[in-house]
Structure 1
């Protein structure tokens, strides 16, 4: 079994009630509830936006509570303290979405985790029966509906209770008049990390901008960058920004401009690490769209192979794409 739940508790954080509704008992699981929770845990565990972070301080609130829980096993106390902190954030910052917090102690793929699922409220609709000179059935809005088992959860925390590693998915919100990854900053007191998808997007967009500015928007150079990222991520779940600059650009001033813009956009470390979940989602094909709407998907590993694909710059300024040595064509 990939997920084994040992205990769980649900607390309600609806700000319209004026205070959190704290459960006084652990959850009892029927088959339906267990399936709902396990499905969400697995989806969260495999989420491409999950990012690893680390505590800034050894004496922060959250880390202290996790350590205390590891020593005392007081699940109720831990969950209540976190819920009260979260409720204060929600009450004082309208940008943070109201929710229920589901705390789960579980073993996931043979590792013990404290899991906090922030079940953000969604609008739903239910039927309602009114008695007005007879029975009248109507549809009413339910503003505090929880995510369905088939939906993704927007925000959650996994803490490895043995290694104290922290994994989080979160939204950037306006909290105390500052846009930030508020769970990392205010609750976990961890280093604020950009999601892997955002880091790769920043690097590819910055590279595209430099190529457009200095190399006449050379499509082969853009493809080369994406191929370097893909190959390194497949091999080691990381890639080096300076190596991309060295391998792609041939002018010192262009390399300098590229590096400075990457740093200005918030990526200061030379090596970017990518989690396994996101690595599996990195594109393996280059999509090319012509001005007439023709779309061609070419695998990165062959796009620079002139025995398979050739881009020809014609004297009149147009481009010809030649596909070579094709064994068969399939209609899809």
Structure 2
């Protein structure tokens, strides 16, 4: 996946979509990009682009408002205000037909990257906040709290976003999509991907690497209960193989991870990943290193450990000892000082 790091915001506009109203509130003016607003928008864009749930996608053959209007804007045929209003109207119609979709502000932003221009659409859900309410009765002051649900937060993560590129021949993808909490109806339709954007997701190296690591953990938990030695060997071996290889083949991994005298286990291991469509893939090294840089180990409901990959591999800091009965002992060594958090 393209790692977008160079972002330069050009212009932005904000509209209000309240499902309790008959129409969206459409902004007539571009946002004045003060330093504070610029940083607010940039922080949300960067956070989404770095999230492991960001996906490649391509537009379907059928045109949607987002596809048509997005391309009209990116190719200089209309301005951002006109484009954003059409996008908002399209989303609002979908929202009015689906009670499970929350009201929001829709931020539409144009920005340049090292890979060319993009049109960003960020659904900014409201944050429930509280403010004080002052009542004065017979010279007596009473102060209470009342909820407000129209605030936007710099810290709250965006749940849905799309970053659209100009469509060109032979390009790998048309847009990047982020849908943290999909809303899917009884017919299996995802309103954001299917109805609003009209796109199909594309599997990439990062997705395959993430899915493989998650599936290894699930298989290990299921097949190595009360066998901590075996589980530790499998987890450590898989990490080593991922770090040392660009291309992954599940048959080669099975040969290295599963012991020779366990042919049935090897067969089950291979079959499991065949069902997951993870027989072969390329490792996303950047995602892998980020994922492995800090390990979180849950020993029991009462004990959890967070440790860096370097410390885990350093025998002077941390050691795992085989107790000879299938269990292990984890040792944190040579502690000169510690603090409580």
Measured against the shorter chain, the TM-score band is 0.7 to 0.9
Long gaps (5+) in structure 2: none
Contact 2:132 2:143 in 1 (8 A): yes
Contact 2:74 2:165 in 1 (8 A): no
Long gaps (5+) in structure 1: none
Question: Which whole-Å deviations, capped at 9, do the CAs of 1:241-265 have from their partners, x for residues lacking one?
Answer: 454334323556544433443455x
Aligned to 1:40: 44
Matches within 5 A, 1:60-71: 60-61=63-64, 62-71=66-75
Query: 1:294 deviation in Å?
Result: 8.8
CA RMSD of aligned residues (A): 4.2
Give yes or no for the alignment of 1:189 onto 2:198.
yes
Instruction: For 1:273 and 1:78, locate their aligned partners in 2 and report how far apart those are by CA, in whole Å.
Output: 38
Query: 1:280 deviation in Å?
Result: 1.6
Instruction: For 1:300 and 1:122, locate their aligned partners in 2 and report how far apart those are by CA, in whole Å.
Output: 38
Aligned to 1:167: 176
Contact 2:109 2:119 in 1 (8 A): yes
**TM value normalised by structure 1:** 0.75
The equivalent position to 1:55 in structure 2, one of 54, 58, 63, is 58
| Residue 219 to residue 73, structure 1, CA distance change in 2 (3 Å) | same
Question: Which whole-Å deviations, capped at 9, do the CAs of 1:12-70 have from their partners, x for residues lacking one?
Answer: 1110113211212221223332222222222223233322x221524432333332222
| Residue 296 to residue 80, structure 1, CA distance change in 2 (3 Å) | closer
* Larger CA deviation: 71-80 vs 244-253: 244-253
Contact 1:48 1:281 in 2 (8 A): no
Aligned to 1:143: 149
Give yes or no for the alignment of 1:100 onto 2:105.
yes
Give yes or no for the alignment of 1:261 onto 2:269.
no
Instruction: For 1:175 and 1:322, locate their aligned partners in 2 and report how far apart those are by CA, in whole Å.
Output: 46
Contact 2:122 2:162 in 1 (8 A): yes
Query: 1:83 deviation in Å?
Result: 1.6
- Number of aligned residue pairs: 321
Aligned to 1:222: 234
Aligned to 2:94: 89
The equivalent position to 1:287 in structure 2, one of 286, 294, 297, is 297
Aligned to 2:9: 5
